[in-house]
Each structure stands twice: as structure tokens, then as C-alpha cells.
Amino acid sequence: MGPHLKGTLMVAVSAFGFATLGIFAKYSYQMHFNFQSTLAWRFGLAALVLLLLSLLNRNWTLKPSQYLPALLLGMVGYAVQASVYFMALQHLSAGLTALLLYAYPAFVTLLEWWLEGKTPSKTTLFALLLTFAGIVLTTQMEGKISGLGIFLAVASGVWYAIYLTFSSRIIRDAHPVPTSALLSLGAALSFLTWALLGPGLNVPHTSSEGLLLLGVATIATVIPVIGIFYGIRLLGTSQTAILSTLEPIFTLLLGAVLLHETLAPQQFLGGALVLGSVVMLQLRQSYLRTRAARAEV
């Protein structure tokens, strides 16, 4: 198997893994687990596995000065995004929530425009227009969709863009697996505290509940984190980002098969516009990087 095919497979596996998160969340609600407990178990178990993998593979490249920032990013940035996403899933289908979250590259572009004064090109502006047109189409269902759910799903994308923008500036040149381990540990501490002080920590009492928590920690967290890392290593960031748009498509398929969720035709069109804008933005970034590299030669 060549490196390109292997990288493509790893990213596809990663996208599928991340796509299962919304499905696991829906099942956790059916089992009457509060989302604080589900996320505490998710991030706690994931942190343990990722820490063990980092130590076994000897790729712990985080500097001591990066420990606290990584933990705080997990406790605040990662935890807030996961909370808002899970709350959105209480009001919307898994597929629709995933599509709205995937507007985040547009928000990253807007943040860079605001923070760094990077004036968007015509192509970028067109991609942004596609994103917001897609959001409008995706959320139009004659009052049948929760306005609160839409707000939370879009807010999840906005916060994820903020998290990505600032985390890339705070933690640099560190292996993503140990970084993800500390981020997960920070998020686990936040949700554990929230659960204990609030609704209480749900503990699994049946094999179904145990398998649910194991699945959300491994299939929806550890496996996709590792898959995306190897995808970036083999394919590069831009190609990996484009292939990652498989995630909401997988979520739609899983929602239809496992939860019997459906979307109206205009919602599919809106979702296609959102994902098309992601591909356009990534292709634009890839072109700029290639041109910059050639100019240096």
C-alpha cells in the first residue's frame, strides 16, 4: 500500500471515528447519562490511552512550559466546544449538527482577517458566501427545527474556530498525540468537576453503558486523533483537511441507518454548499503555500 493510499485510508478512518461522536451522544441521552458524565468519561479514558501511547512510543515532545497551557486549553477551549456541541445534539439531529459545526473553517478565516489583517481574496470571500448561504438553507424547515439548537450548533463551530486559532499560537512544534493527551486530561477535569458539583457523575452499571463509554473514548476520540495525525504526516495538512469533510457525510449516513434521521432536500443542498466552501478554502491555502515555497527556491 502506497503512502498516499495509506494516508487517505487513515483520514477516512479518522473522519468515520469523529462522525460517531454524535451517534454516541444520542445513545447516551437515551441511557439517561448527563452529558457532563459522558464527556468526563470520554476525555478521561482518552487521556489515559493517549498518555500511555506517548510514553510507549517515546514521542513526548511537550516542554514543561507547555503543560499548563495545554491543560488550560483543554479545560476551557476544548471543554466549552464539546459542551455546546453536546447541548446542540439535544435539539437537532446528529447529521444537521455536524454540518453546522463544519462551518468552522469560514470562522477561522474571519478570525485571521480580524486578528492578522489578512484581506480575503475573491475566492475566499466567495467561499465564505457559500458557507453562510449553506447555513441558511440547512436551517430552513418552516419552524420545525429548534432555533436554540441551530444557535448552539453554529456557536460550537464559532468556538471551535477560536479554539483552533489560539491553540495553534500557544502550543507549537509539539507532537499531537501527547498534546491531545493533556488537552483531554484538562477537559476531563472540567467535566468531572461539573458533574460532581452539578447533576452528579453517572457510573456505568450495565455492559451496554460500559461499551458506550468505551466506544466514545476510543472509536470517537483516540482512533480519530491518531488517524488524523498520520494522515497529516502522509498527505499534508490541506489534503487531510479536504478529506476530513467526509466526517459530516459519515454522520449523516450513520444517523440515517442507526437513528432513522432524515434531512430535507434543501438541507442536503445547504450541507453541500458548506462542505464545498471548506474544500475551496483548503485548496486556496494549498495554492498559497505552494506558491510561497516556489518563491523561496
Taking only the tens place, the pLDDT of each residue in 217-259 is 999 999 999 998 888 888 877 678 778 888 999 999 999 999 9
pLDDT of residue 141: 63
- For residue 74, the tally of other CB atoms under 10 A from its CB is 27
What does the pLDDT read at residue 196? 97
Cβ-based neighbour number of residue 197 at 10 Å: 9
Which residues make Cβ contacts (< 8 Å) with residue 257, sequence separation at least 6? Answer: none
Q: What domain range is 171 assigned to?
A: 3-296
- Give the pLDDT score at 19: 93
Distance CA 67, CA 45 (A): 19
Assess contact for 132 and 158: CB atoms under 8 A: no
| pTM assigned to the model | 0.88
The three grid cell numbers given for residue 216, joined into one nine-digit string:
466514545
Whole-number pLDDT of residue 297: 56
Residues sharing a CB contact under 8 Å with residue 247, sequence separation 6 or more, in sequence order? 15, 16, 18, 19, 98, 102
> What is the pLDDT, as a whole number, of residue 296?
63
Q: 36: closest CA among 86, 76, 99?
A: 86
pLDDT of residue 144: 65
Q: Nearest Cα to 243, choosing from 208, 271, 282?
A: 282
C-alpha distances out from residue 216 to 6, 38, 39, Å = 24, 8, 9
- In tens, the pLDDT along 87-118 reads 999 999 999 999 999 888 888 888 878 877 77
Structurally, the chain folds into a number of domains equal to: 1
Q: What angle do CA 180, 78, 41 make, to 5 degrees?
A: 75
CB atoms within 10 A of CB 39: 27
CA-CA distance, 83 to 114, in Å (whole number)?
A: 26
Q: Per residue of the chain (297 residues), give pLDDT as tens.
A: 777 788 889 989 999 999 999 999 999 999 999 999 999 999 999 999 999 988 888 777 788 888 898 899 999 999 999 999 999 999 999 999 999 998 888 888 888 788 777 777 888 888 888 888 888 888 876 556 788 999 999 999 999 989 888 887 777 677 788 889 999 999 999 999 999 999 999 999 999 999 999 999 999 999 999 998 888 888 877 678 778 888 999 999 999 999 998 888 888 898 899 898 888 887 877 777 777 666 665
One-letter identity of residue 217 = A
